[in-house]
Structure 1
Amino acid sequence: MTAELTLHAPAGPHPAGRPVPVRARLRNSGPGDLWIVGVVDGSDTGTRYPHWLPLVRLDGVVVAVPARPEDPLVGPLRTTDFRCLAPGGAMDPGPLPTFDTFAPEVPGTYVYSLDLSTGSGRPEAWLGTFNQDRSVLDLVARVPRLTLHAEATVEIAS
């Protein structure tokens, strides 16, 4: 299974103090179908799989990460959360609050990065913490175990 994860940011310097509209894209570059789950409750904080872990660095120092969950409860994984990407198909995995809310205040070159991991050894690590529907475990088994990384560089002007 081959897949490509990319981050996209508008070109040009961006003004300080405003979030930069960075978006992710996952593309199936393999010959067969790719089953995947986008960003769901708890996946951007590593509370549950799949992990979609964003962060932002300035001069090698991490300046933005997901907020710690106030409540460890995450909603159930549903059959509607699964997508089947045909060869060449692509998707936006969904909103990443870290990227949507981080507003760089200091001018410089920021590196936005995103790590996707579907590599849980326990299928139950995909389920939520309440109203769990164990029937989705059949779909979890269709998701290949992937680890992907993407970065985008963004200039922030004064």
Structure 2
Amino acid sequence: MIRIELTAPGGPHPAGKPVPVSVSVVGTTELLLVGVLDGSEDGSRYPRYRPSVSLGGQIVAAPPAAEDPLVAALRVSDFARLAPGEPFDPCASRSLATFETFVPEAPGSYVYTLALDTQSSAPEQWLGRINQTDVPEVLALVSQVPRFRVTSPPLVVEVR
């Protein structure tokens, strides 16, 4: 079992400022994972990390549609091998722009969620389109990443 946890410092949070949201992925078995990459948030490559923020049941922040398919290479160093129960911050080397740049302007209860999808139909969907080297070695690692789709429990953030 794999779960995503979102956390934010205690609130309420002031309107007009981004809410600092932290992400942690945890599994009950040993895992090989890849964090957020160029193209992960807009869905143009795997792994797909799809954040959203809603207010009153309406989405107020989500990644834009993919514009440029020229994403950077996937490197061996992008993979993290985790022990059972070991938390993994997928945003350690690249943040989720949707969470980082969204500024709640009005008071309310904002709901933050994050979906992680590794269920590619072909391992090549993980590769970059610029300077991709070590393809056999990288694809061997991609084949070890478990295939799943999971969404975090909602993180409700009060904004005043």
In which range does the TM-score fall when normalised by the shorter chain? Answer: over 0.9
Deviates more, 1:51-60 or 1:124-133: 124-133
Instruction: Report the AA paired with residue 132 of structure 2.
Output: Q
Deviates more, 1:125-134 or 1:47-56: 125-134
Counterpart CA distance in 2 for 1:70 and 1:116 is: 20
Question: Which digits, 9 at most, give the CA deviation of each residue in 1:79-114, with x for residues without a partner?
Answer: 000000011211110111110110100111100110
Which residue is equivalent to 2:141?
Answer: 139
Which residue is equivalent to 2:16?
Answer: 17
Point out 4+ residue stretches in structure 1 off by more than 6 angstroms.
none
- Partner secondary structure for residue 92 of structure 1: coil
Within the candidate set 23, 32, 36, 1:35 is matched to 32
Aligned length, in residue pairs: 154
Within the candidate set 145, 152, 157, 2:155 is matched to 152
Deviation at 1:12, TM superposition (A): 1.8
Question: Which digits, 9 at most, give the CA deviation of each residue in 1:49-103, with x for residues without a partner?
Answer: 0000001100111100113444221001000000000112111101111101101
RMSD, matched Cα: 1.1
Counterpart CA distance in 1 for 2:51 and 2:102 is: 11
Counterpart CA distance in 2 for 1:24 and 1:153 is: 14
Which residue is equivalent to 1:105?
Answer: 105
- Consecutive unaligned residues of structure 1, counting only runs of 5 or more, are none
Deviates more, 1:79-88 or 1:3-12: 3-12
Counterpart CA distance in 2 for 1:137 and 1:71 is: 23
Which residue is equivalent to 1:80?
Answer: 77
Counterpart CA distance in 1 for 2:113 and 2:120 is: 21
- Partner secondary structure for residue 138 of structure 1: helix
Identity of aligned residues (%): 51
Correspondence 1:46 to 2:43: yes
- Matched-pair contact (CA < 8 Å) for 2:43–2:66: no
Within the candidate set 43, 58, 82, 1:61 is matched to 58
Deviation at 1:132, TM superposition (A): 2.0
More strand by share: 1
Counterpart CA distance in 2 for 1:115 and 1:56 is: 12
TM-score (norm 2): 0.92
- Matched-pair contact (CA < 8 Å) for 2:23–2:90: yes
